[in-house]
Structure 1
Amino acid sequence: MTTLLLHGLGADRRQPLKLFSPVLAAIDGADGPVVAIDVRAHGTFHEVGTPADFALDRLAAEAAAATVAEVPRLIQAEDAPDDAALGPAPLTVIGISMGAAIALRLALDGLLPVDRAVFVRPSFDDRSLPPNLRAFPVIGERLHDAGADGAAEFRETNLYHEVERVSPAGAAGLLAQFTAPLAEERAMRLVEVPRNRAFSDDAELAGLAGRGIRSLVVGAPRDPVHPLATAERWAGALGVPLETVPARDDGLAAQTAAMRDAVGRWLALTARA
């Protein structure tokens, strides 16, 4: 089965590859390709575009097109018989934060033949610019006005201090946005992406199971940007398991190990189902 990996805001395809490649190698071996793409204005996707290009449905459509370009079997030719052995092939999608929101839209909107979905540390819900994401447009504006030097001003904001009080690791992650590759040129992504709603309401989330798509949610405590309450809401509305891993501030290595273990166990279990 093909696996699609989707990164978080400000990261690139290397983020989920580093995190989950060991898991996928142990579970799936060479049985299916692993596709990791760069979302618009991230990694090797250099085009920034306009604010409208950062609407979640457009990002999802671009992700679907990039995935199909790498794995054509994910679509079925219009003239192929219904029982054609070569298509469409099922897909597992694993998304982190923004990637989780894109993965959800891929599944709900039927853009790819998703069979399984893993939503890691989701940060988006049914609100535009929820409180946990309000720091990102501010960072984007500082980058636009002052470049990397805007980090010093951002460190003096209440938004930064609120995150730092709960999670120094989370605060460091926010500051890392200032030094990301081409951060100044790509500042628009930080302003526009957080304005997206991942879903319209809990009923839309609940509809995922009706499509026959199995899913898992992974969350962590003391993460102001990716609140555990958001992960709990996703899991509750989806009616699926929630795996809670250690906080980043208790050690990134411990969180990574727990995340790999949780996702690996679930993938192995659902592969046998």
Structure 2
Amino acid sequence: MTGLRREPRLAHVVTGEGPPVLLLHGLGGDREQALGLLPAEGRHTRIVPEMPGHGDSAIDSDEPVTFAHFAYLTAELLDGLVAAGRISAGPMPVVGVSMGAGVALALAAARPDLVDRLVLVRPSWLDRSPAPNLAPFGVVAELLAELGPAAGEQAFEAGAVHRRIAREAPAMARSLLGQFRRPGARENSRVLAELPRSLPLPDREAYRRLTVDTLVLVAPRDPVHPLDLGLRLAAFLPRARVRRLPRKLVDPTAHDTAVRCAVHEYLTQGR
């Protein structure tokens, strides 16, 4: 694996050998989450950026927190890697989880020359702003800004939002608590507050104009990544198919294994 690089803007990793694939992490995630979307032994060159306010990518105080901006920076990165001779020119598969699925859609719409096909894992955004299923992230952001990581985590864990999610989806509750512990949590909290108000594409017609081949991976009973949202997204996209996965919030290991298998099969067995 190469080290993290900061040219042109996003910290990123390029690792492996074989056909290139772009892997995009979720809200509050990082490169390790994105790398987990494919089996480690798969023969691919993995291109893994970290969006502003995530991992080792800093965010400027006046920088937009939108899908359009994140897609622009991703395209800039890919163009730079091609110019430097680190990857070959041409479209590639793009795999994104949650927020990364939204960035993948925005990238496919803005730069179709870069995208061969899409895999959208547990999408969380569609055509409502702010997305109601993402309201817990706003609560986390507010507590981080007001109280900081340690006190904010204690307040969130004691609050009604956490108690409700812990009853419905314990793994998701643990994931939200983890937002308080990630590096730069307080400094990057506005990403959690602002991105739920952005949309990957402006309206349903924009989705219907997106003709790239797409696989949508959904799972039941996930309050942040509703199954119904994924099904509606697939219905909007002219060339989408759906694959259902085991419920993540009961057995995360089985779910993550199913994601990797589904992505690997889709990328290696054609369309």
- The Cα shift of 1:178 comes to 0.6
Indicate conservation of the 8 Å contact 2:24/2:48, yes or no. Answer: yes
Write the distance in 2 (CA, Å) between the matches of 1:129 and 1:43: 24
Write the distance in 2 (CA, Å) between the matches of 1:142 and 1:46: 20
Aligned residue in 2 for 1:78: none
Aligned residue in 1 for 2:250: 250
Indicate conservation of the 8 Å contact 1:7/1:95, yes or no. Answer: yes
**Stretches of structure 1 lacking an aligned partner (at least 5 in a row):** 75-85
Q: Does 1:35 align with 2:51?
A: no
Matches within 5 A, 1:108-187: 108-110=109-111, 112-148=113-149, 149-187=151-189
Matches within 5 A, 1:88-99: 88-99=89-100
Indicate conservation of the 8 Å contact 2:153/2:177, yes or no. Answer: yes
Q: What SS is found at the alignment partner of 1:5?
A: strand
Write the distance in 2 (CA, Å) between the matches of 1:228 and 1:60: 24
**How many residue pairs align between the two structures?**
250
Q: What SS is found at the alignment partner of 1:179?
A: coil
Percentage identity across paired residues of the two chains: 35
Aligned residue in 1 for 2:222: 223
Aligned residue in 2 for 1:79: none
Of Structure 1 and Structure 2, the greater helix share is in 1
Residue 90 to residue 111, structure 1, CA distance change in 2 (3 Å): closer
Q: Does 1:59 align with 2:77?
A: no
Q: TM-score, normalised by structure 2?
A: 0.86
Write the distance in 2 (CA, Å) between the matches of 1:234 and 1:162: 26
Q: CA RMSD in A?
A: 2.0
Write the distance in 1 (CA, Å) between the matches of 2:84 and 2:210: 23
Write the distance in 2 (CA, Å) between the matches of 1:237 and 1:218: 15
What is the aligned counterpart of 1:16 among 27, 31, 34? 34
Q: What SS is found at the alignment partner of 2:23?
A: strand
What do the CA deviations read for 1:5-61 (whole angstroms, capped 9, x no partner)?
110011111111123143xx43xx2xx5320001001111123432x5102211110
Q: What SS is found at the alignment partner of 2:179?
A: helix
Which residue type is aligned with residue 197 of structure 1? L
**Stretches of structure 2 lacking an aligned partner (at least 5 in a row):** 1-18
What do the CA deviations read for 1:71-125 (whole angstroms, capped 9, x no partner)?
3389xxxxxxxxxxx9841211111111110000000112652111111110011
Greater Rg over alpha carbons, structure = 1
Q: Does 1:3 align with 2:5?
A: no
